[in-house]
Amino acid sequence: MLFLSCERRPCQCAMPASPWPTPRSVRQASQLHAVLTTSGKIVHPPSAGHLLSSLTNCLSAPLHLSYALSLFDRLPLHSTFLFDTALRACLRASAGADHPVLLFRRMRRGGVRADAFTFHFLFRCCSLARARAGLCRMLHAACLRTMLPSAGTLVTNPLIHMYAVLGLTDDARRAFDEMPVKDAVAWTTMIGGLAKMGLLDEARRLLVQAPERNVVSWTSLIAGYSRAGRAAEAVNCFNSMLSDGVAPDEVAVIGVLSACSQLKDLDLGRSLHFLIGEKRIKMSDNLVVALIDMYAKCGDIACAQGIFDAVGRGQKPQPWNAIIDGYCKLGHVDIARSLFDQMDTPDVITFNSMITGYIHSGRLRDALLLFMQMRRHSLRADNFTVVSLLTACASLGALPQGRALHASIEQRLVEDDVYLATALVDMYMKCGRVDEATIVFQRMGERDVHTWSAMIAGLAFNGMGKVALEYFCQMKRNGFQPNSVTYIAVLTACSHSCLLNEGRLHFKEMRSSHGIHPQIEHYGCMVDLLARSGLLDEAMDLVQTMPMQPNAVIWGSILSACRVHKKIDLARHAAEHLLKLEPDEDAVYVQLYNIYIDSRKWVDASRIRMLMEERGVKKTAGYSSITVAGQVHKFVVNDQSHPWTFEIITMMEEIAHRLKSVGYSPITSKITVDVDEEEKEQALLAHSEKMAIAFGLISLPPNLPIHIMKNLRVCEDCHSAIKLISKLWKREIIVRDRSRFHHFRDGTCSCNDFW
DNA sequence: CTAGGGTTAG
């Protein structure tokens, strides 16, 4: 209405060439369009140009672009300016590279001369749309043929940017070097392109050469170092910028804050916070996010909360996301959730952070409920969500759900990427499907050090240590640098497969060839390997010479090896340490009790019993679970609560019968209760593992493997009984217990575990 | 008409 009121009287302030007011919205543009059409003025090139140009300035939706392009199509005359404006419209609507290329072809067919703006917009469209390298080079060639040599930076700067965005740094560099006159933007674009590709040393060299070092060049270098994990260099770079006399702005500070988060350097963080106030740098939302994130990661959550309360409680979800993530990372999921519930408009990132927080604290049910709530906010799951859910499936051993997620990836409901593929490998491995994990791994386009590590760790857990080491060799041959996580996987492979010499070799090599200092986890693997191999003295030497205090995992390895290798004194020593570290962990008492019983030290054994009673330590009940048709069925010893108890017992009797008929005798020697042999056999038969397997045999189709999860360790009798069951029933049985996978097939098990 | 940035994942 407001706009129409000027329709008869042209604005005084408008350009003299165009007697029309300037529309400020698509709606106003369409009104002007109507007026021009009815008055026949639409054929007047300056009027039409004015309309198209001002419409272009208002574009905000794809529909607007089709309006603008249809308007363009109906114009009687197509000048270079009009084509350039149409290209500008494509850019504004970020509508990919197809429209621009078609426009360019029409231009040449129509004999319309291309000018500097034409190529300027074409190159920018290609950058935005990440166009194919071939197309970009073609347009570049067309540009060289068409343009006067002195086209200038209006064309070359977007050209360099285009090549840099596509990762074609050589093309970018050549174009840059061939520029007769380089302005500040050219230098900055080139430096930024190199920094983004991780070519930081080259970027730095260029920065030194540049006639002028501005805040933008410095910032791209700072961010580059920070992204590459070279946080200390990022901070140095920031300091160099300051001493170079370049004033930091909001973006520069955000970059150095993220480096500071990595370094967890609270003092530096505080001084940066002070600098913001001192230099009166604008406190944008993004800066607030970076500050909250920095304080949270540097361990000062109170300060993070303070900033959030002061400036973060607006409508924008980003500051909320930063503080929620901070609480989740510290394990305070309930505080995070209460903030989450206060939000008006959570976005995908909010949900992803909260879901991941729940998953990392083992609250998978809450994670799932939240995932289902996303629909109510009409939010779609993205790659982050799917990776988190795959992690949950991996830790639950939920193979069918994991497969469903895989299917949604294959159907391209989410974009395939390295993270996703690695999470898939991890999920299949943790569900015992080495074959499927391998297929995913082999089909992936891009791999990185995490992918290889997941593969090696997965093979290790599945008892395929030798294969894991082959993958490790292949990884190094392909030029990937192993990191400390990779070495945890490699050493786990050695300890789970009892590869003593290989373990020693890799433990030595990690420091000598790759400069990785062993952490407690690496020592843990080595101690386990030595102890399992019966070299308890050597294991203890390592424990005493390592530069940190042994943790419960390490004493646990020693203790369980002591039972097998009958080292009572060392067992007592290890147990003492364990009871100090974890006085409530029932497994320690049970282990020590069993060791005393094994060696007939009845008095010591009963002392342990008493100690447990005194301290109120309860033995956690062992249970096994199996998922059938999406439902989890949980069994404890002698369980009669299941609705199919009758069928299960019948099946267990058949199992006992068939085992006996092939000469199997239950391993009753470890049972310490004083009952007769037959009762012992009955007790073993009622173990939760066997109940779950019996139920699986009844309820799952014969071609499906049976997956069982056990919260403790599979007992010796169950282990050898399941081997036989897998042979007699010709079924694959996969049991995941506390420390590893047991893959039973045709009478064998993949694990190298002992009792 | 222009170059640099943050929070969620394996």
Q: Which A residues 234-263 have CB within 7 Å of strand B?
A: 249-252, 254-255, 258, 261
Task: Please give the average per-residue pLDDT across A314-339, as a whole number.
Answer: 94
Is the distance from CB of A461 to CB of A430 less than 8 angstroms? yes
- The reply to whether A323 Cβ lies less than 7 angstroms from strand B is no
Residues A587-607, mean pLDDT to the nearest whole number:
85
**Residues paired with residue A708 on neighbouring β-strands, in sequence order:** A735
Question: Does the CB of A196 sit below 7 A from strand B?
Answer: yes
Question: What's the whole-number mean pLDDT along residues A90-96?
Answer: 86
A284 touches strand B (CB under 7 A): yes
Amino acid making up residue A247: A
Could you give phi then psi for residue A616, rounded to 5 degrees? 65, 30
* A413-434 residue pLDDT tens: 777 889 999 999 999 999 889 9
Predicted confidence (pLDDT) per residue in A133-158, tens digit: 999 999 999 998 887 655 678 899 99
pLDDT score for A2: 46
Interatomic CA–C1' length for residue A286 and nucleotide B5, angstroms: 8
CA of A248 to C1' of B4 (A): 11
Q: Which residue has its C-alpha nearest to nucleotide B3's C1'? A: A189
For residues A123 and A58, what is the distance between their CA atoms, to the nearest angstrom? 22
With a 7 Å cutoff on the CB, does A213 touch strand B?
Answer: no
Give residue A315's pLDDT: 87
pLDDT of A750: 85
Residue A707: in which H helix or E strand, if any?
A: strand A706-710
The answer for residues whose C-beta is within 8 angstroms of residue A720's C-beta and 6 or more apart is A664, A667
Q: What is the pLDDT of residue A10?
A: 45
Per mean pLDDT, which range of A90-104, A165-179, A616-630 is the poorest?
A616-630
**Spatial separation of the C-alpha atoms in residues A377 and A360, rounded to whole Å:** 24
Task: Name which of A365, A394, A391 is nearest A709 in CA terms.
Answer: A394
**pLDDT > 70 fraction of chain A, expressed in percent and rounded:** 97
What phi, psi does A733 have (nearest 5°)? -125, 125
Question: Stretch A307-321: mean pLDDT, rounded?
Answer: 92
> Has residue A1 got a pLDDT over 70?
no
> Can you give the pLDDT at residue A78?
86
Average pLDDT over residues A598-605: 85
Share of chain A above pLDDT 90, in %: 56
Instruction: Answer whether A617's CB lies under 8 Å from A586's CB.
Output: yes
pLDDT recorded at residue A13: 43
Return all residues near A514 (Cβ < 8 A) that are at least 6 apart: A481, A482, A487
Protein-proximal positions, strand B, CB < 7 A? 1-10
The confidence score (pLDDT) of residue A151 equals 64
Judged by C1' against the alpha carbon of A350, the nearest nucleotide is: B8
Let me know: does A351 contact A379? Beta carbons within 8 Å. yes
> For A234-252, how does the pLDDT look when each residue is reduced to its tens digit (9 = 90+)?
999 999 999 999 999 999 9
Nearest-angstrom CA–CA distance, A549 and A520: 8
**CA at A505, C1' at B10: how many angstroms apart?**
28
Least confident residue range of A15-19, A263-267, A732-736: A15-19
- C-alpha distances in angstroms, A750 versus A453, A466, A696, A746? 20, 12, 20, 11
d(CA A287, CA A281): 9
**Structural domains in chain A plus CATH codes:** 381-446 (no CATH), 448-517 (no CATH), 536-616 (1.25.40), 634-749 (no CATH)
Chain A 86-105, CB < 7 Å to strand B: 88
How does residue A3 score in pLDDT terms, banded at 50, 70 and 90?
Answer: low
Asked if strand B contacts A189 at the CB level, meaning under 7 A, the answer is: yes
Q: Taking Cα atoms as reference points, which of A395, A396, A306, A382 lies closest to residue A349?
A: A382
Q: In Å, how far are A403, A498, A556, A656, A742 from A732, measured between CA atoms?
A: 18, 24, 31, 19, 10
The answer to whether the CB of A608 falls within 8 A of the CB of A586 is no
- From the Cβ of A192, is strand B under 7 Å away? yes
Strand pairing of A741-745 and A748-749? antiparallel
Q: Could you give the CA distance from residue A205 to residue A201 in angstroms, rounded to a whole number?
A: 6
pLDDT band at A12 (very low <50, low <70, confident <90, very high): very low
The nucleotide lying nearest A286 (C-alpha to C1') is B6
Range name among A215-229, A325-339, A603-617, A716-730 with the lowest pLDDT average: A603-617
Task: Tell me the CA–C1' distance in angstroms for A257 and B6.
Answer: 9
> What is the DSSP secondary structure assignment for residue A652, as one 8-state letter?
H
Residue A32 near residue A23 (C-beta atoms within 8 A): yes
Cβ within 7 Å of strand B: which of A 39-78? none
Q: Is the CB of A156 under 7 A from strand B?
A: no
* pLDDT tens column, A657-715: 999 999 888 888 777 677 788 888 888 888 999 999 999 999 999 888 898 989 888 88
Range of weakest confidence among A50-59, A165-174, A257-266, A311-320: A50-59
pLDDT at residue A41, as a whole number: 85
- Which residue is closest to B9 in terms of CA–C1' distance? A384
Task: Please tell me the total number of residues recorded for chain A in this structure.
Answer: 755
Q: What is the pLDDT of residue A23?
A: 84
> What is the C-alpha to C-alpha distance for residues A16 and A626, in angstroms, rounded to an integer?
80
Helix (H, G, I), strand (E, B) or coil at A628: strand
Of the two residues A63 and A161, the one the predictor is more confident about is A161
* Average pLDDT for A550-567: 90
Spacing of A473 CA from B9 C1' in Å: 27
How high is the pLDDT of residue A150? 58
Any idea which nucleotide's C1' is nearest the CA of A154?
B1
Mean pLDDT for chain A? 89
Residue A325 (CA) to nucleotide B7 (C1'), in angstroms, measures 8
CA atoms of A411 and A481, how far apart (whole Å): 33
DSSP assignment of A533-550: TT-HHHHHHHHHHSSS--
**How confident is residue A357, by pLDDT bands cut at 50, 70 and 90?**
very high
Look at A277-291, A469-483, A740-754 and tell me which has the smallest mean pLDDT.
A740-754
Burial of A217 (0-12, 13-18, 19+ CB in 10 A): buried
